[in-house]
Amino acid sequence: MKLSYIRALVTRPEPQAQALVDAIREMGGQSWPVPMLAIDALAETQAMKDCLLMLDQFDQIIVTSRPAARLGVELIERYWPQLPVHCQWFAIGGSTAAELGQFDIKAHYSQAGVDSEALLTLDAFNHVQDKRVLIIKGAGGRELLEEQLSNAGASIQTLDVYQRSCPTYDRNAVVKMLESHSINVILCGSGETLTNLGYYLPMSYRADYRLLVPSERVARQAHSLGFQQVTNTGGASNETMLQALARICFL
């Protein structure tokens, strides 16, 4: 699988951005990182500590992203050298599950997609009446998991471990990058990343670039923002993105 004519702009946050850039370059393509999302760990509060100390009281733990996995488990390990054995772990997407796997945590995830809707199709969430569920996530973001599981009778607690922000660049930085490197494809790993990209990319440019996104939801968002060449890769992992780039080569 060669990506010799790919010239990609990678917008995911660091360190994931550089890892994908390196993977593309190793396969013969060219790629440059311009993160459209900054991830900053939240300082530990007493409320966070109280939540962590009662970890063994949860039936299910849901982790929503790779940063949530890394930062969440780092916090948990301060208080739980050995994790409670009865807790079931779940991840949104295979990449998040793989991140948890780095900590020897086996997490279930949906093969059907990389969003909350896909996760909720798992059999484990068919009967959650009286279940205690912890959602480890970033501050803000979608509330679908909390709403759906709460409506189904689960007791929900959230643990915010990081905050997201839009990086600050020169207003024309993205356009300059696209033009100076003759970019022909842009990779976006989330809806929020796409929103931030839209802030820096004028409407007049959006129809000219092929855009790779991880889900149908984000694809719909992309179309609403004026992107016309949108490919739903069905996932956000490096492997999935690389496979999608390889398919573009043969169009």
Report helix angle 191-200 to 173-180, nearest 10.
Answer: 90
Is 172 within 8 Å of 179 (Cβ atoms)?
A: no
Note whether 56 and 109 are same-domain residues: yes
Cα distances (Å, whole numbers) of residue 91 to 20, 52, 87, 97, 212: 21, 18, 13, 5, 22
Inside any domain, residue 182: yes
> Whole domain around residue 15: which residue ranges?
7-37+169-249
Note whether 160 and 180 are same-domain residues: no
pLDDT at site 251: 46
DSSP tag of 43 = P
Token pair in block for residue 84: 């409670």
Note whether 65 and 145 are same-domain residues: yes
Note whether 198 and 245 are same-domain residues: yes
Inside any domain, residue 180: yes
Instruction: Give the separation between CA 112 and CA 115, rounded to whole angstroms.
Output: 9
Note whether 205 and 182 are same-domain residues: yes
| Bridge-based pairing state of the strands 7-10 and 30-33 | parallel
Cα distances (Å, whole numbers) of residue 61 to 43, 54, 80, 87, 97: 21, 12, 15, 7, 12
Token pair in block for residue 195: 């929103």
Cα distances (Å, whole numbers) of residue 16 to 35, 67, 95, 189, 190: 9, 10, 11, 10, 13
Note whether 216 and 138 are same-domain residues: no
Note whether 201 and 160 are same-domain residues: no
Instruction: Give the separation between CA 81 and CA 250, rounded to whole angstroms.
Output: 49
Q: What's the total number of domains in the chain?
A: 2
Inside any domain, residue 22: yes
Inside any domain, residue 216: yes
Inside any domain, residue 113: yes
Instruction: Give the separation between CA 128 and CA 60, rounded to whole angstroms.
Output: 10
Instruction: Give the separation between CA 35 and CA 194, rounded to whole angstroms.
Output: 11
Note whether 88 and 190 are same-domain residues: no
Instruction: Give the separation between CA 222 and CA 132, rounded to whole angstroms.
Output: 35
Inside any domain, residue 116: yes
Mean pLDDT per 10-residue section of the chain, whose length is 251 residues: 90 92 96 96 96 96 95 95 92 92 95 87 93 95 89 95 94 94 95 95 94 94 96 89 83 46
Order of all β-strands in the sheet with 30-33:
30-33, 7-10, 185-187, 210-213, 229-232
- Residue that finishes a domain, picked among 133, 164, 195: 164
pLDDT at site 108: 96
- Residue that finishes a domain, picked among 147, 164, 181: 164
pLDDT at site 70: 95
Inside any domain, residue 2: no
Note whether 62 and 27 are same-domain residues: no
DSSP tag of 207 = T
* CATH code for the domain in which residue 239 is found: 3.40.50.10090
Inside any domain, residue 1: no
